[in-house]
Amino acid sequence: MRQFGGVYPSECDTVAGHSSAVSVLATVLAYEFSEELKSETGVELNLPDVTLMATFHDFGEARSGDTGVSSLSVHSVCKLFPLEREGLEANLKGLKISRRVLELFDDYRGYKTPEALSVHIADNLEGIENLNPAIRK
């Protein structure tokens, strides 16, 4: 049976695989293009924030699961963000990095910063790569 969006389960990646790929892609793209971005637009990326945000952008799904579609059927609204955030909070509880990661997660989910936009671009590129059979071969 196909997943939401017409994808077969065998074509889906894991949260770990996806998060790792997005982390590498976002970090590489940010480092490769940060100087051009600054010189052409005046926008300066905080490179460590891009890496940290990308690393943890879906980390809460390790606990909550990818709940966007399933939460719609149970709650009649998508609860992906609050469930992922709760999972992220639980996974980081008691760690010094927790506050910063949660701030970056909120920035990411709100499309609030250039770093968030960079990670969203990497997230989308990774998804496109997974869905395009020509790229996967």
Mean pLDDT of 5-28: 76
Which pLDDT score, from 0 to 100, does residue 131 have?
67
CA neighbours within 13 Å on the CB side: how many for 81? 10
Which pLDDT tens digit goes with each residue over 41-71? Answer: 999 999 999 999 999 998 887 776 655 555 5
Do residues 17 and 49 touch, judged by C-beta distance below 8 A? no
Whole-number pLDDT of residue 113: 97
38 vs 130, higher pLDDT = 38
Domains of the chain (ranges, CATH numbers): 9-123 (1.10.3210.10)
70/135 Cα distance (integer angstroms): 29
pTM of the model: 0.79
pLDDT above 80 (res 15) = no
Q: How confident is the model at residue 73 (pLDDT cuts 50, 70, 90)?
A: low
The sign one gets for the Cα dihedral 87, 88, 93, 99 is negative
Tokens of 66: 């990818």
